[in-house]
A and B are shown apart, each in its own frame.
Chain A
Amino acid sequence: DAGITQSPRYKITETGRQVTLMCHQTWSHSYMFWYRQDLGHGLRLIYYSAAADITDKGEVPDGYVVSRSKTENFPLTLESATRSQTSVYFCASSEYVGVMNEQFFGPGTRLTVL
């Protein structure tokens, strides 16, 4: 009963480096989401995906890239990390969207960009 997992749980990197955060879910949920959590902002949607090979931007997509070649995986890449991307990143999934939608969250990745 793994549910939704994220790796790494903690990451420290330097400005300008590429970083990839992994998200894996075992439920075969169609929809997956990436959020960042910052003090005073709650959670903000970065990208989401409705199915394999279908992705779209959320509220704060700049500086991030996603892919979804398999239903169960939804990696988030910071192509050239900046200090403003220091945050806690949460991946989430849901079986469908619409009435009675519920999203399930992973444990989060704490990223520090020096």
Chain B
Amino acid sequence: AQSVSQHNHHVILSEAASLELGCNYSYGGTVNLFWYVQYPGQHLQLLLKYFSGDPLVKGIKGFEAEFIKSKFSFNLRKPSVQWSDTAEYFCAVIPMDSSYKLIFGSGTRLLVRP
């Protein structure tokens, strides 16, 4: 079955530390890739997305993600986190043979200590 894996369920960092959250998917064909963020008590917001072209995607708030097709990965990065980045982060994939079905990973809870 198609799946999305986020290996880090909980991450705790100090402010100014660098962040990398892993995301791997199990589909071999063409995919659209997304990272969503959910701040405490709020709804999901799109951080960034990859459809095609440059595999290094830049999103809002200084986040970026790199699509590595050979590794089936789409890891999220930020060079210097802030306390306000405390949130839950979800990787999601749309396989192109199931174009409406967003498949979500289980999420990573990030706590940034001031």
A interface list, Cβ under 8 A from B: 31, 33, 35, 40-45, 48, 50, 58, 90, 92, 94, 97-108
Contacts and interface: CB of A to CB of B under 8 A. Distances in A.
B106 A41 contact: yes
A89 to B, nearest CB: 11
Contacts, number: 56
Contacts of A50: 100
Interface of B: 4, 6, 9, 32, 34, 36, 42-46, 49, 51, 90, 92, 94, 96, 99-102, 104-107
Given A99-B32, A100-B32, A45 B101 contact: yes
A44 B100 contact: no
A109 to B, nearest CB: 10
A42 B106 contact: yes
A31 B42 contact: no
Given A101-B94, A102-B49, A106-B43, A42 B100 contact: no
B51 A100 contact: yes
B104 A44 contact: yes
